[in-house]
């Protein structure tokens, strides 16, 4: 039976339905029966990874589609990278990912100068928020994006509500920004090429 790798984890307390784990030292390679390559299969993969967030101390998601012919092949592929995976899991232990996306709020009709000044003000406000959020996160990854700001933050589980509240409060103080904060998510942006 072909299996699909979902994530690497440590501190596993439980597993989602139809999942197994190959335990390699402190690292558990969580897998299940391979599905297809449809959008529904990708969503199912994501749901398993999200379920692991509540079942494990640390989770490193693996991109969709990492398949192995059997558990032995998975173990053989992972074993040479075990120390690297242990280090990555230690880096995300006790944390989740929050995504913050900032766009410029729809401008009111104005002349060119006012429009450009409002854009500069929004850009500066986005930069300031990023600096404030970095102070509250263990790490941050900023994406190349047409948005003013598109970043993911590695946040301690106990700080999630405070972090999200600060983003919301900043949005109230800065109506020139259109802010969205999502999560908590499994820390995929901090997993690099985990598989």
Q: pLDDT of 104-138, one tens digit each?
A: 887 666 778 878 888 888 889 999 999 999 999 99
**From CA 49, how far away is CA 32, in angstroms rounded?**
11
Tell whether 54 and 24 lie within a shared domain: yes
pLDDT of 45: 95
Tell whether 69 and 142 lie within a shared domain: no
Tell whether 100 and 77 lie within a shared domain: no
**From CA 14, how far away is CA 12, in angstroms rounded?**
6
Measuring CA to CA, how many Å separate 103 from each of 100, 110, 138, 175, 181?
Answer: 10, 18, 24, 11, 12
Residue 195 lies in a domain: no
> What's this model's pTM, rounded to 2 decimal places?
0.88
Q: pLDDT of 63-76, one tens digit each?
A: 999 999 999 999 99
Beta carbons of 98 and 182 less than 8 angstroms apart = yes
Tell whether 80 and 117 lie within a shared domain: no
Q: pLDDT of 145-159, one tens digit each?
A: 888 899 999 999 999
Tell whether 9 and 83 lie within a shared domain: yes
Q: pLDDT of 152-192, one tens digit each?
A: 999 999 999 999 999 999 999 998 899 999 999 999 999 87
- Residue where a domain terminates, one of 47, 65, 92: 92
Tell whether 52 and 118 lie within a shared domain: no
Percent of the chain having pLDDT more than 70? 96
Tell whether 60 and 109 lie within a shared domain: no
Give yes or no for residue 1 having a pLDDT over 60: yes
Tell whether 86 and 102 lie within a shared domain: no
């Amino acid at each position: 039976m072909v299996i699909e790798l979902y994530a690497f984890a440590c501190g596993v307390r439980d597993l989602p339905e139809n999942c197994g784990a190959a335990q390699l030292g402190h690292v558990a390679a969580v897998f299940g029966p391979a599905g297809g390559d449809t959008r529904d299969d990708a969503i199912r993969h994501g749901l398993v990874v999200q379920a692991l967030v509540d079942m494990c101390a640390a989770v490193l998601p693996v991109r969709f589609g990492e398949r192995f012919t059997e558990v032995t092949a998975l173990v053989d592929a992972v074993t040479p990278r075990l120390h690297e995976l242990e280090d990555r899991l230690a880096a995300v232990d006790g944390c989740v990912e929050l995504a913050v996306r900032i766009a410029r709020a729809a401008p009111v009709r104005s002349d060119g100068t006012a429009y450009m000044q409002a854009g500069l003000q929004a850009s500066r406000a986005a930069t300031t928020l990023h600096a404030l959020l970095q102070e509250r996160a263990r790490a941050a990854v900023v994406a190349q994006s047409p948005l003013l700001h598109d970043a993911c933050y590695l946040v301690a589980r106990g700080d999630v509500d405070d972090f999200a509240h600060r983003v919301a409060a900043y949005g109230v103080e800065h109506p020139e920004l259109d802010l969205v904060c999502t999560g908590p998510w499994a820390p995929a942006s901090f997993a690099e090429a985990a598989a």
